Structure 1
Amino acid sequence: MRRISLWLLSTVAALVLLFGYRTSTGLTAAPATTVAATPAGEGQTYTGETVRTEEGDVQVVITVADGKITSVSVPVHPTGGQRHDEISARALPQLIEATLAAQGADIDSVSGATYTSGGYKQSLQSAIDAARL
């Protein structure tokens, strides 16, 4: 009887620990990141090519109104793991802000996100080329 009680208690403790295990540090990654300066629906949208990087695919979509980039979104970016989600959540807003300030693809890469930055800039340039800016 004592062995059965110990076995039952051990099994319950193991299940509690297993189901209570958290792999996240509490940080949440932003989904496709967008920064907009114009109301939705204004301007023409241009989609950049999907660029393969060592960390995952990247694709940029820009909205252009009156010859200026008014918003940028990144519907495709490296995801699927905690590391990718953290890098994307940190780097993409910086890249978007830099794009809106520079009004082009001549922007600095984000430290620690070299592959994502390179893919972003390449996709951004193809969207700018499509927009003929």
Structure 2
Amino acid sequence: MKRITWWAMSTLTLLVLLFSYRTSTEAVAAGGAGASNTVAMQQNTTTGQSEAGSTQTTTSGSGTGSVSTPAASASTSGSAKSATYTGTSVDTRWGPVQVRITVANGKVTSSEAIVYPSENSRDQEINSVAIPTLNSEATGTTTSSIDMVSGATYTSTGYIQSLQSALDQAHI
């Protein structure tokens, strides 16, 4: 009888310990960021195109990461001058994210993600909600301090970094 009681209590203790074990997703997030930085360092050349179709973005890396120098296109409509700026492409755990903004009178009038993860159905599902939300958050702002989208942390982080790059080019 003592053996059965001892066995039952041991089994119960193990089950309690098993179900109370908390896994940490923060360690994975930190590891994922390091891995994406490694990928960014290995990338040497990237090119992009402006709305007019001419090549505008070139990057070159020398082992310290890639630095992008996107160009801006400007147009005038009435008395308000607007210009379009393309942020750098930011490598995330699930793929690159790149943002293009239009600025008029020192304010973002439109924002769109031109590159974002869409490799599989899960990426498409997440970004079908996240990208429009991020675009609307960035429109009308003068800073990259926008709300992130829950469930799309990597895309949101990449979006914000690319948005900041575009805002820096616009000198906002």
Per-residue Cα deviation, 1:94-120 (whole angstroms, up to 9, x for no partner): 111111243321011100000000000
Residue 71 (structure 1) shift: 0.7
- The alignment's TM-score, normalised by the length of structure 2, stands at 0.52
2:121 aligned partner = 82
Residue type of the partner of 1:46? Y
84, 90, 108: which one aligns with 1:69: 108
Higher strand share: 2
Q: Does 1:53 align with 2:92?
A: yes
CA contact (8 A) 2:107 2:140 kept: no
Q: Does 1:130 align with 2:166?
A: no
Per-residue Cα deviation, 1:76-108 (whole angstroms, up to 9, x for no partner): 000110000111111011111111243321011
In the alignment, structure 1 segments of 5+ residues that lack a partner are 1-39
In the alignment, structure 2 segments of 5+ residues that lack a partner are 1-74
What is the aligned-residue RMSD (CA, Å)?
A: 1.5
Aligned residue for 1:102, secondary structure, equals coil
- The alignment's TM-score, normalised by the length of structure 1, stands at 0.67
Percent identity between matched residues is: 49
Aligned residue for 1:117, secondary structure, equals helix
Aligned residue pairs, count:
94
Large movers: runs of 4+ above 4 Å: none
1:110 aligned partner = 149
Which whole-Å CA distance do the structure 2 matches of 1:101 and 1:113 have between them?
A: 22
- Structure number with bigger Rg: 2
